[in-house]
Amino acid sequence: MSTTVRPARRHTRRFVRATLMGVLTLAVVAVPTDIIDTPVFSREIPVRWWEYPVVAATVVLTFAWFAIQGPPPTGRASRRPLGGVLLTVFAVGCPVCNKLVLVALGTSGALGLWAPLQPFLALISLALLALAVVQRRRQSACATGACATPQPTTARQ
């Protein structure tokens, strides 16, 4: 009986951790970009229709990455989800509210050059996150058959 309780606890902990990371991702992406309206942040340009699904997909992919059992991430693979989430922040943020873009391009450059690039940045960020989820799934213990239930063996007579 104890062998069935421990895997259930691990799955529950992994699910809770994945849920917390999904909620944290939502807060980190949607609050400073004012997609979730708060009195702390404001936005000069209204939220565009495609920003909502991009934020939702980012949260779902982040949840999926943390929900998949896998080896501890190392090297480049460990940075891919973080890079995807940070790129999403730049992709869905208000083009004229981003101080780095304003300093580099000015207001007209932010609206004329940066804003048209943002949907492409969103696609790149989602591709990075999807790639990270696929890689994590491939490296997971379940993909190698380690978590498969053992088949009963028959004794030879």
Please give, one letter per residue, the 3-state secondary structure of the chain: CHHHHHHHHHHHHHHHHHHHHHHHHHHHHHCCCCCCCCCCCCCCCCCCCCHHHHHHHHHHHHHHHHHCCCCCCCHHHHHHHHHHHHHHHHHHCCCCCCHHHHHHHHHHHHHHHHHHHHHHHHHHHHHHHHHHHHHHHHHCCCCCCCCCCCCCCCCCC
Domain total for the chain?
Answer: 1
Total residues found in the chain within this entry:
157
Render pLDDT for 107-151 as a digit per residue (tens, 0 to 9): 888 899 999 999 999 999 999 999 999 988 888 765 566 655 555
Confidence of residue 8 (pLDDT cuts 50, 70, 90): low
In-domain check, residue 131: yes
pLDDT score at 32: 93
In-domain check, residue 146: no
Render pLDDT for 50-106 as a digit per residue (tens, 0 to 9): 999 999 999 999 999 999 987 766 666 667 788 889 999 999 999 888 888 889 888
In-domain check, residue 28: yes
In-domain check, residue 152: no
Residues contacting residue 53 through CB under 8 Å, at least 6 positions apart: none
In-domain check, residue 82: yes
Average of pLDDT values for 5-12?
69
In-domain check, residue 55: yes
pLDDT score at 97: 86
- Domain range for residue 78? 2-139
In-domain check, residue 72: yes
Contact status, residue 84 vs residue 54, Cβ threshold 8 Å: no
Q: How far apart are CA 114 and CA 131, in angstroms?
A: 25
pLDDT score at 27: 96
In-domain check, residue 153: no
